[in-house]
Chain A
Amino acid sequence: MGNMPFVVSMILVMVGFLTLITRRNLIKLAIGISIIEMGVNLFLVSLGYVKGGIAPIYTYAPPGAKEMVFPTPQALTLTAIVIGLATTALMLAFAVVIYRHRGTLDAEKIRELRG
């Protein structure tokens, strides 16, 4: 059972890739990339889990605390979430701009740049 989070995160990554391959709507592409991001974030945060460890909060730690969960992967995950937010916002903004110009979000129909 210990590897379950990794399996789930890789499934999420696969689902995201599948979305990218099969969908043509720009918003759905952005969602697909977000799903991959979530998978990677889950992978990162589960790296730091220690079985039976307590939350790494200084003020909550009981006197006899033995093991804490690693805080570093959580910090990494948060940073990755922030970055993912920025990229998603930027992609959605471009999708909106494209929609205004072309009146559609279909990736095949908007393609002007070929070859």
Chain B
Amino acid sequence: MSVIVRTISRVVAPVALAFGAYVIMHGHLTPGGGFQGGAVVASVVALLVVAFESGRWKKWKDVLLPLEDLGAMAFTILAFLGLGATFFRNILAGGGGLFGAPVPQLGPNPGALNTAGTLPLMNWAVGLKVIAGLGSVVILLSLFGREDG
């Protein structure tokens, strides 16, 4: 791709990455969550794959595929944690520990990040899975057109 495209991608990529991370982290407070944030990050992967030659991304898929498994497993295990009561039971919410702070009253507030129990953790797991999954899909599809893919 041309210099213009590459330069702009260099500028946009970090910003988009940060935005994706924000969407994942705030998934339990504002619209967004694991999938949406993951899709934003994966779009960065797509941008980079298009802007720079795709051959060098080939080795990345070997890194991404285990990460995808890890994300999916983490999500399932978080759901299994609730088995003391029922599957998917939110055991951390309201517990006072990690993500267990009480929820503030209704009304405009900056949002209490330390709430919602296992939900943020699940968002992270899904985010990891979507970043890895969508990222490897993008990389694999871009490799398909090449002779060495």
Contact = CB atoms under 8 A, between A and B. Distances in A.
Interface size class of A (residues with CB under 8 A): 10 to 19
The secondary-structure label for the interface of chain A is helix
Nearest to A63: B107
B108 A60 contact: yes
B-side interface mostly: loop
Contacts, number: 40
B35 A82 contact: yes
Interface residues of B, number: 18
Contacts of B29: 57-59
A62 interface: yes
16 contacts: A57-B31, A58-B29, A58-B106, A59-B30, A59-B108, A60-B30, A60-B108, A61-B107, A63-B108, A78-B35, A78-B36, A85-B39, A93-B137, A93-B140, A93-B141, A96-B141
A7 interface: no
Contacts of A111: none
